[in-house]
Amino acid sequence: MANDLIDKAISRRNVLKGIALGGAAVGASGAIGSVLAACSPAAPTGPIKVGVLTDVTGAFGVVGKSNVETAQFTVDEINAAGGVLGRQLQLVVGDSASSTDTAATVARQLVEKDKVDFVIGTVTSATREAVKGIICTTGKTLMVIPTSYEGGDCTTNMWVVGAVPNQQVDPMVAYALEKGAKTFYCCGADYSYPRNMIAQFKKQVEAAGGKVVGEDYYALTDTDVAPLISKALAANADCIFDVTILPLSVQFLKGVVGGGFKGVHMSPLYDEGVNSLFGADVAGMISAQDFFSSGAHDEFTTKEMAAYKTKYPAGIFASSFNSAAWYRGIYMWAAAAAKAGAVDLAKINTACDSITLDKGFGGKAAMKAGTRHCSVPMQLGEMQADGSVKILKDLGVVDPTGQCA
């Protein structure tokens, strides 16, 4: 019904130009409001500055370069459809250089000198913690977080479009139980993300009557996880839930596979973007992500993937780099601005709470009202020896739980 009303009021062509959402869609009030704002003689005419805060160089440089490509792809698409409220988007890239100190300096420059209209980023939770006060609090600038993370950040002026623990963990627990697993061993790097993911995993396992027989962590300063491999094998569990991180995750997986583990092995950190680093040892690993590039997709996603590969033939578009969420985040901000009818912090914050993106990589997504977090399309996959992913189950749109409500 809403689309019918829009079509009667203004043409589809003008809606796309007004709200600048390309393949995305918002409700009738947002579309009409954006067109009126775009036509207002008082409306600003300069570019809307999009601050991109990511690690273009340093240890996470490969991730940051992919983030910039995805942001540019998305902005180019929006601009080709007319921009947002009749204005073009302009990327302003800030290289946090895989350093929290650098990130803080760059964040300050984005909001104070470059005066960006919003910021999208970061790569790690540590970086988010280092910059959120600078951007969101003192800088009074809206920030979109595309990273899958440990959850629980309810900072004012911040909106999260990446996955939180329940969206990845719960489907994996259900799968392990379906495969007959009764005992579980958990391990990971010793910082907030692995600990929160494991806490969610244990909660789900124990609620279902399973038993966690071990839980161990290694320090981020460690250079060898041989002791962790020994503990994992000695636990003799039916399932290992592993939140080890690169580069030591390569050693851990090789050691567990080489040690003869035959049970269910799962992690939230595997997909086509990183699988090649593990070689054939990755075969059989289970993960849940908001997007796998392997397998069949809906028509919209198939066309967008082809367009991305045409623009960036060597580019990496993967959940391990939060690619789908970067695309989602920029489009959802654009939808919020269109609904608000102005690039205004208070109005866009209000609009963000009820934004829906009807089309995106992997399917529909929507902000879960009152949570500052996003309901996202999820898939359960099994890693293959050649680095591809066999889709085990399309999980549909999964709501975030326990977030800011």
What mean pLDDT do residues 326-355 have?
98
* Cα separation values, 76 from 31, 80, 386, Å: 20, 6, 33
Specify if 41 maps to a domain: yes
Q: What is the pLDDT of residue 11?
A: 32
d(CA 42, CA 31): 19
Together in a domain, 131 and 193 = no
Q: Which of the four pLDDT bands, split at 50, 70 and 90, describes residue 39?
A: very low
Say which residue, 43 or 376, is predicted with more confidence: 376
Backbone phi, then psi, for 164, in 5-degree steps?
-115, 170
Which position has the token pair 């302003």? 92
Report whether pLDDT(33) > 90.
no
For the record, the structure tokens of 4 come out as 């019918």
Q: Phi, psi (5° rounding) for residue 212? A: -90, 115
27 and 135, same domain (yes or no)? yes
If asked whether residues 290 and 302 sit together in one domain, one would say no
273 and 186 fall within a common domain: yes
- Read off the pLDDT of residues 86-116 as tens digits, 9 standing for 90 and up: 999 999 999 999 999 999 999 999 999 999 9
Same domain for 332 and 386, yes or no, is no
Whether 403 is covered by a domain: the verdict is no
Q: Within this chain, do residues 184 and 261 fall inside the same structural domain, yes or no?
A: yes
The span from the CA of 284 to the CA of 357, in Å, is 33
Check residue 305 and give its pLDDT. 97
Q: How many domains does the chain have?
A: 2
The secondary structure of residue 122, as a DSSP letter, is -
CA distance 147 to 150: 10
Considering the domain boundaries, does residue 405 fall inside one? no
Question: Residue 277's domain is classified under what CATH number?
Answer: 3.40.50.2300
Q: Are residues 263 and 344 in the same domain?
A: no
Residues 6+ apart with CB under 8 A from 332: 24, 144, 159, 161, 352, 355, 357, 365, 367, 374
265 membership: H or E segment, kind and range = strand 264-266
User: Chain-wide mean pLDDT for the chain?
Assistant: 91
Question: Residue 84 has what DSSP assignment?
Answer: B
Taken in order 284, 290, 295, 296, the sign of the CA dihedral is positive
Is residue 111 domain-shared with residue 26, that is, in the same domain?
A: yes
Domain boundaries, position 277: 165-294+382-398
The reply to whether 104 and 183 lie within a common domain is no
**pLDDT at residue 284 is higher than 60:** yes
Helix H or strand E segment including 286? strand 286-289
Q: Report if residue 6 sits inside a domain.
A: yes
Q: Can you read off the two tokens belonging to residue 297? A: 């997709």
Res 34 pLDDT > 80: no
188 sits in which H/E element: strand 183-189
Number of H helices, E strands in the chain: 13, 14
Q: Does 119 fall in a domain?
A: yes
Looking at the domain assignment, is residue 262 inside a domain? Answer: yes
Same domain, 63 and 131: yes
| HSE of 4, CA atoms in CB hemisphere, 13 A | 1
Do 373 and 342 touch, CB atoms closer than 8 A?
no
CA–CA distance, 272 with 278 (Å, rounded to integer): 11
Pairing relation of β-strands 264-266 and 239-243? parallel
Angle (deg, nearest 10), helices 2-9 and 28-39: 30
Query: H-type helices in 179-242, by residue range?
Result: 192-207, 226-234
Residues 317, 232 share a domain: no
Of 143, 235, 230, the closest CA to residue 182 belongs to 235
CA distance 67 to 182: 39
Cβ count within 10 A of residue 302? 11
Q: What is the pLDDT of residues 204-247, one digit of tens each?
A: 999 999 999 999 999 999 999 999 999 999 999 999 999 999 99
* Per-residue pLDDT at 36 exceeds 70: no
pLDDT at 42: 58
Assess whether 181 and 144 both reside in one domain: no
How large is the average pLDDT for residues 72-90? 98
Of the candidate ranges 26-35, 36-45, 144-153, 167-176, the one whose mean pLDDT is the lowest: 26-35
Quote the Cα angle for 52-57-63, to 5°.
65
Amino acid at 217: Y
Q: At what angle do helices 61-80 and 323-340 cross, to 10 degrees?
A: 40
pLDDT for the residue 43? 63
**DSSP class of 289:** E
pLDDT score of 4: 30
Sequence-separated (6 or more) residues with CB below 8 Å from residue 205 = 173, 184, 211, 212
404 within a domain of the structure (yes/no): no
Q: Give CA–CA dist 54/373, Å, rounded.
A: 20
Q: Is the pLDDT of residue 343 over 90?
A: yes
Is residue 31 predicted with pLDDT exceeding 90?
A: no
Task: Reply yes or no on whether the pLDDT at 153 is more than 60.
Answer: yes
The residues, any chain, with a CB within 8 Å of residue 114's CB and separated by 6 or more, are 49, 51, 92
Q: What is the mean pLDDT of residues 248-259?
A: 98
* Residue 186: inside a domain: yes
- Reported as a single tens digit per residue, the pLDDT across 288-340 is 999 999 988 999 999 999 999 999 999 999 999 999 999 999 999 999 999 99
